[in-house]
Amino acid sequence: MPNSFETLAIHAGQEPDEQTGAVMTPIYQTSTYAQTAVGQHKGYEYSRTANPTRTALEACLAALEGGDYGLAFASGMAATDAVLRMLSPGDHVLAGNDVYGGTFRLFDKEFKRYGLNFSYVDTTDLEQVKAGLRAETRLVWLETPTNPLLSVTDLGAAAKILKTQSKPPLLVVDNTFATPYLQRPIEMGADIVVHSTTKYLGGHSDIVGGAVVTHLEDLYTRMAFLQNAVGAVPGPMDCFLVLRGLKTLPIRMDRHASNAEAVADFLVDHPAVERVLYPFHPTHPQVEIAQRQMRNGGGMVSFIMRGGEKEARQLAESTNIFTLAESLGGVESLIEVPAAMTHASVAGSPLEVDPGLVRLSVGLEHIEDLREDLEIALEDVN
């Protein structure tokens, strides 16, 4: 199998069905598997442990991330949960101070209760990463670009810092916003990549799912144990839908990015907008790092409205094509106000976001329609 991304996205982990020749991986809608004698089976016993549709998805995700092992979960949060469960009481986790609100909530409201310690730094500043490491730091959790501020961390440089520690912590990268088509953290030194497959990998806002990928067998073995022991697994239908989404990931991401770039250019010049955050825009503080480690700038654009909260809410309620909704990464464009919606759970914490911030998931509609939709809605804001 050639290993170009586009070809792997369509074929990795997937062969025509041996029995029928079905080209698409069947949806193995079964919980259990017949055994020919006690303990004798064809590699599948029970679908919490393994299911052939899930196996195909896991292999495809591993190939796309340049890892050796993939594990699919029922949501991005379930994938995050599996990674954190490898730690023990007293261990310290250093995380970015702009991670997804749900990630912070799981760390702060749950894992802290079990004796893990967390601290948060601006990971775009590697001096803060260095200074934040402790003797008992076992894991560094990075998002890049971040949700919702689209801040970019130099992954190769961060990995190098961790490798110089006497007991190097695991480097975990949530690659949901970039996808493996734009950015491959394992090649830059990460140990584990985490995804919410709900977003670009599924790509059509029709499933909730998650995944982890690693190239390290011991981590895979531990997380596969947790996947089975805890049981937060996706059903075969959802695995099929993510597999289908992956086949068009490269062309979707290219169009998401060209539309997002045009939207960012339009917003930068608009008088009602104070500041635009887009990783490949020349005004982005880490544009050089972004251009070095990402293939394009992705489909997310965040911006701060000049007025503030009232104006942000007004805008989000005025667009027509941009649907007011949480989530991201589907073919349709979405608009939201993170402080009141996706990131409400970080209110009052060090991760609190500006109430005037608006986040766009720029979809695949015609760019002129998207621009006009924003233009008309911005005119109405006062």
Ligand X SMILES: Cc1ncc(COP(=O)(O)O)c(C=O)c1O
Catalytic residues: 48, 100, 174, 199
Give the H/E segment covering residue 367. helix 367-380
Q: Which one of 52-60, 173-181, 250-258, 297-305 is the stretch in contact with ligand X (CB under 6 A)?
A: 173-181
The three-point CA angle 211-184-225 to 5° equals 30
Q: Which residue, 60 or 377, is less far from ligand X as judged by CB? A: 60
Sequence length of the chain is: 382
Is 296 in contact with 257 (CB distance < 8 Å)?
yes
Could you say which of 75, 123, 227, 286 contacts ligand X (CB under 6 A)?
A: 75
Distances (CA, A) of 334 to 312, 331, 363, 382: 14, 9, 7, 22
Query: Is the Cβ of residue 120 or residue 177 nearer to ligand X in the bound state?
Result: 177
The closest alpha carbon to 342, from 310, 375, 300, belongs to 300
Least distance between ligand X and beta carbon 110 (Å): 14
Q: Per rule CB under 6 A, is residue 234 in the interface with ligand X?
A: no
Q: Does 208 bind ligand X (CB under 6 A)?
A: yes
Bridge partners, 300 (sequence order) = 361
At 344, which amino acid appears? Answer: A
- Alpha-carbon span 138 to 36, nearest angstrom: 45
Q: Which of these ranges, 72-80, 316-324, 344-352, 363-371, lies near ligand X under the rule CB under 6 A? A: 72-80
What single DSSP character describes residue 40? B
Shortest spacing between CB 352 and ligand X, in angstroms = 17
Is 77 one of the binding residues for ligand X (CB under 6 A)? Answer: yes
The binder of ligand X chosen from 97, 144, 198, 214 (CB under 6 A): 198
Nearest-Å Rg of the Cα atoms of the chain is 21
The answer to whether 337 and 313 have CB atoms below 8 angstroms apart is yes
**Rounded least distance, CB 177 to ligand X, Å:** 6
Output the smallest distance, CB 284 to ligand X, in A. Answer: 18
Q: Does 123 bind ligand X (CB under 6 A)?
A: no
Q: Select from 70, 76, 169, 363 the one that contacts ligand X (CB under 6 A).
A: 76
Q: According to CB under 6 A, which one of 13, 67, 70, 102 is a site residue for ligand X?
A: 102
Position 174 contacts ligand X (CB under 6 A)? yes
**If phi over 0 gives left and psi between -120 and 50 gives alpha, with beta otherwise, what is residue 350?**
alpha
Shortest Cβ distance from residue 327 to ligand X (Å)?
Answer: 6
CA 294 to chain centroid: 14
325-354 positions binding ligand X, by CB under 6 A: none
Choose the binding region for ligand X from 116-124, 171-179, 253-261, 355-363 (rule: CB under 6 A): 171-179
> Residue 106 carries which DSSP code?
I
Q: Is 210 in the site for ligand X (CB under 6 A)?
A: yes
The smaller minimum CB distance to ligand X, of residues 75 and 302, is found at 75
Give the start-end residues of each E strand in the chain.
69-73, 92-96, 117-121, 137-143, 170-174, 192-196, 210-214, 273-277, 300-305, 323-324, 334-336, 357-361
Nearer to ligand X, 328 or 378 (CB): 328
| Binding status of residue 145 toward ligand X by CB under 6 A | no
Size of the site for ligand X (CB under 6 A): 15
| CA distances, 350 to each of 94, 101, 286, 293 (Å) | 14, 11, 22, 28
Instruction: Tell whether residue 203 is a contact of ligand X (CB under 6 A).
Output: no
Residue of 137, 176, 183, 259 interacting with ligand X (CB under 6 A): 176
Binding footprint of ligand X on the chain (CB under 6 A): 75-77, 100, 102-103, 143, 147, 174, 176-177, 196, 198, 208, 210
